């Protein structure tokens, strides 16, 4: 007797196989059989006309503190996501000590969505997540920015012994179960690190057979160079490489999607196991201070405040920010109307407005500086990409899906609530850019393989029964930049290790997620 039978659905195996009508039998936490006439079950759910797929795996999440929020947060389950890879862009929420929290100031606070940022080693972080009971499964990367801030504060130059300490901390994190190493090379203090520093850390990841994921040092004018750096790091350290949120930013570079993919494929030809992920939007979202040159943050957020408040310091930063010959933040690559302030710690009236609106007839750079003096960790949504490049990149088989979400509170980029349904509704059903089976593969096995999540990312006998049942005719997301926190449509059932946590589109309220350790 099986525990559960999903009867009559069209099964997408996650490996790219075409949809096929089959029953799926689940016993305990596993799929035990697929096919017809599988015998009796304690519970039968008729899913005729619906798609049955492996639960989606979000390659690029920033939900690190979300499981510690007081209430369960089903915003990913509603998208069909059963596992999130957190700790991306170099920012893991461990290891942290008091000095690191002090030095990084509002950066972590802004990502935390109201959860207190407290000192923890990596094992402690995973233990706290497990104890809280996440709403979906969590697998965590250890981040270069965090390691560097811990060992070296917000200083530009590494102190003697700091790199060795970073490597030791990374080793501890892998021993505790970190599933890979991440970097975010536009963000201080990670951006102060050079290639050799990253190779040293990636070599630690190699010893544990864990991948290296990177938010490249540049995603606009120097994208090719930045990709070459990532490929060099992966080659020298012999690690799998995941290029995070693949994009071509900056108007002057639009149309460069093909060149990005050519580099990815060339690297594979030369023996690097490289893939990428992407979110299906033209706009990105990050710290507002990413508009400024990295030099703005040397010494930490207090030092940045002092620089921005001082007319001479502000003038120096403006000159650097306007110098298009160097990679100096996004300022000169967008217009103030492209920048929507989404989070601000002390000026709620600034959120939901563009920099152009906030500046009015004043100077937009001065406005930016004033807004950042009030909250150096403020967030933004910034329109940087061309739709043509979004589609070109998405169509490539090496590219998986990752949302790059923020905490599900306040005004955030709509990807937080709708990334996966948007791919399936907009790019599969409406535009026909991808087949459904290929889109499912990009959300499942393509990610599970890269991050070493054994037994997940496919539907087959012996697989963990993380499953999603959705309606291909209605799945989608209507969220906008102005009103992003809208429930997606079309996701009917979600199972975590055989237990239904979404039933007929409703969250059961249970925290059945687990911590997946590398």
Q: How far is the CB of 484 from Zn ion (least distance, A)?
A: 18
Whole-number Å distance between alpha carbons of 289 and 301: 10
Least gap, CB of 495 to Zn ion (angstroms): 30
Q: Which three-class secondary structure string do you get for 375-441?
A: CCCCEEEEECCCHHHHHHHHCCCCEEECCCCCCCCCCCCCHHHHHHHHHHHHHHHHCCCCCHHHHHH
The number of C-alpha atoms within 13 Å of 475 and in the hemisphere containing its C-beta is 29
SS3 state at 78 = helix
**Piece of the chain touching Zn ion by CB under 5 A; list 132-140, 160-168, 207-215, 439-447:** 207-215
Query: Residue 154 in contact with residue 297, Cβ under 8 Å?
Result: yes
- The pairing of strands 181-184 and 212-215 is parallel
Smaller CB separation from Zn ion, 10 or 191: 191
Which of 89/304 has CB closer to Zn ion? 89
Cβ 382 to Zn ion shortest distance, Å: 12
154-163 burial by CB neighbour count: b if 16+ within 10 A, else e?
Answer: bbeebeeebb
Give the nearest distance from C-beta 286 to Zn ion in angstroms: 7
Q: Please give the residues from 258 up to 317 whose contact with Zn ion meets the rule CB under 5 A.
A: none
Contact 89, 188 (CB under 8 A): no
φ, ψ for residue 107, nearest 5 deg? -60, -50
* Cα(276)–Cα(402) distance, integer angstroms: 9
Looking at the Cβ atoms of 215 and 477, the one nearer to Zn ion is: 215
The Cα 412–Cα 343 span in angstroms is: 8
Total residue length of the chain: 518
CB of 249 to Zn ion, least distance (A): 11
Task: Choose the stretch contacting Zn ion; rule: CB under 5 A; options: 87-95, 228-236, 341-349, 363-371.
Answer: 87-95
Tokens of 253: 């570079």
Question: Least distance (Å) from Zn ion to the CB of residue 89?
Answer: 3
Element (H, E) at 79: none
| C-beta closer to Zn ion: residue 215 or 456 | 215
Q: Which stretch binds Zn ion (CB under 5 A): 138-146, 208-216, 221-229, 358-366?
A: 208-216
**What minimum distance in Å lies between the beta carbon of 278 and Zn ion?**
12
Whose tokens are 């060795």? That residue is: 164
Q: Is residue 350 within 8 Å of residue 341, measured between CB atoms?
A: yes
Residue by residue, DSSP assigns 80-112 as TEEEEEES-TT--S-SB-HHHHHHHTHHHHHHH
Check: CB of residue 181 under 8 Å from CB of residue 212. yes
Applying CB under 5 A, the span of 83-91, 261-269, 414-422, 476-484 interacting with Zn ion comes to 83-91
Q: Is 215 in the site for Zn ion (CB under 5 A)?
A: yes
What is the rounded CA–CA span in Å between residue 22 and residue 37?
Answer: 9
- The residues with which 382 forms a beta bridge, in sequence order, are 284, 339
CB atoms under 10 Å from CB of 102, counted, come to: 14
For Zn ion, give the closer residue by CB, 9 or 65.
65
89 vs 138, beta carbon nearer Zn ion? 89
Binding-site residue total for Zn ion (CB under 5 A)? 2
**Geometric angle at alpha carbon 184, from 515 and 302, rounded to 5°:** 105
Q: Among residues 89 and 465, whose Cβ is nearest to Zn ion?
A: 89
Contacting Zn ion (CB under 5 A), which of 31, 69, 89, 385? 89
Taking the CB of residue 362, how many other CB atoms lie within 10 A of it?
10
Residues 392-421 close enough to bind Zn ion by CB under 5 A: none
Stretch that binds Zn ion, among 7-15, 23-31, 214-222, 315-323 (CB under 5 A): 214-222
Q: Quote the least distance from Cβ 347 to Zn ion, whole Å.
A: 25
Of 7 and 415, nearer to Zn ion (C-beta) is 415
Smallest separation, CB 263 to Zn ion (Å) = 19
Cβ atoms of residues 282 and 387 within 8 Å: yes
Of 5-13, 84-92, 312-320, 374-382, which segment contacts Zn ion by CB under 5 A? 84-92
Q: Which stretch binds Zn ion (CB under 5 A): 75-83, 164-172, 213-221, 505-513?
A: 213-221
Among the residue ranges 11-19, 211-219, 435-443, 444-452, the one whose residues contact Zn ion (CB under 5 A): 211-219
CB closer to Zn ion, 169 vs 185: 185
Binding of Zn ion by 86 (CB under 5 A): no
CB of 49 to Zn ion, least distance (A): 38
Please, which of residues 133-152 interact with Zn ion by CB under 5 A? none
Residue number, 6 or 198, with CB nearest to Zn ion: 198
Q: How far is the CB of 442 from Zn ion (least distance, A)?
A: 19
For 408, list phi and psi in degrees, rounded to 5. -80, 50
Q: Which is nearer to Zn ion, 215 or 305 (CB)?
A: 215
Which C-beta is closer to Zn ion: that of 34 or that of 334? 334
Q: Pseudo-torsion of CA 482, 483, 489, 491, nearest 10°?
A: 100
Q: How far is the CB of 134 from Zn ion (least distance, A)?
A: 22
Given the DSSP bridges, would you call strands 379-383 and 30-35 parallel, antiparallel or unpaired?
Answer: unpaired
Q: Applying CB under 5 A, which residues contact Zn ion? A: 89, 215
């Amino acid at each position: 007797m099986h525990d559960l039978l999903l009867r009559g659905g069209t099964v997408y195996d996650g490996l790219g196989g075409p949809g096929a009508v089959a029953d799926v039998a689940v016993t305990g936490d596993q799929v035990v059989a697929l096919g017809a006439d599988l015998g009796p079950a304690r519970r039968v759910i008729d899913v005729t006309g619906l798609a049955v797929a492996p639960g989606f795996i979000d390659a690029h999440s920033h939900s690190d503190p979300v499981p510690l929020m007081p209430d369960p947060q089903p915003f990913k389950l509603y998208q069909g996501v059963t596992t999130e890879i957190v700790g991306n862009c170099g920012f893991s929420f461990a290891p942290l000590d008091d000095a690191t929290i002090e030095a990084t100031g509002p950066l972590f606070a802004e990502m935390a969505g109201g959860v207190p940022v407290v000192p923890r080693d990596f094992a402690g972080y995973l233990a706290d997540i497990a104890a809280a009971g996440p709403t979906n499964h969590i697998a965590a990367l250890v981040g270069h920015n965090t390691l560097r801030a811990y060992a070296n504060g917000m200083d530009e130059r590494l102190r003697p012994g700091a790199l060795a300490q970073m490597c030791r901390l990374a080793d501890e994190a892998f021993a505790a179960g970190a599933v890979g190493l991440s970097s975010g090379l536009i963000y201080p203090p990670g951006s102060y690190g050079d290639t050799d520093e990253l190779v040293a850390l990636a070599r630690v990841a190699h010893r544990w057979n864990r991948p290296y994921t990177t938010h490249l040092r540049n995603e606009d004018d120097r994208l090719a160079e930045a990709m070459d750096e990532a490929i060099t790091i992966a080659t020298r350290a012999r690690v799998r490489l995941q290029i995070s949120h693949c994009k071509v930013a900056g108007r002057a570079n639009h149309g460069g999607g093909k060149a990005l993919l050519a580099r990815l494929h060339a690297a594979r030809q030369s023996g690097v196991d490289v893939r990428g992920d992407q979110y299906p939007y033209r706009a990105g979202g990050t710290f507002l201070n990413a508009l400024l040159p990295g030099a703005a943050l040397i010494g930490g957020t207090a030092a940045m405040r002092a620089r921005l408040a001082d007319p001479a310091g502000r003038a120096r930063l403006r000159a650097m920010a306007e110098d298009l010959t160097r990679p100096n933040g996004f300022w000169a690559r967008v217009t103030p109307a492209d920048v929507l302030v989404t989070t601000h710690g002390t000026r709620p009236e600034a959120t939901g407005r563009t920099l152009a609106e906030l500046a009015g007839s004043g100077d937009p750079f001065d406005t930016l500086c004033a807004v950042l003096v009030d909250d150096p960790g403020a967030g933004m949504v910034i329109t940087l990409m061309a739709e043509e490049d979004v589609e070109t990149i998405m169509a490539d088989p090496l590219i998986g899906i990752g949302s790059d979400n923020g905490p599900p509170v306040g005004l955030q980029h709509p990807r937080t609530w709708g990334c996966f349904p948007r791919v399936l509704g907009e790019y599969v059903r409406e535009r026909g850019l991808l087949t459904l089976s290929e889109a499912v593969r990009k959300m499942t096995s393509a990610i599970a393989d890269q991050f070493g999540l054994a037994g997940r990312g496919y539907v087959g006998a012996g697989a963990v029964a993380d499953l999603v049942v959705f309606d291909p005719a209605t799945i989608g997301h209507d969220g906008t930049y102005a009103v992003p926190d809208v429930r997606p449509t079309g996701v009917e059932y979600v199972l975590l290790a055989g237990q239904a946590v979404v039933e007929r589109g409703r969250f059961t309220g249970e925290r059945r997620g687990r911590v997946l350790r590398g």
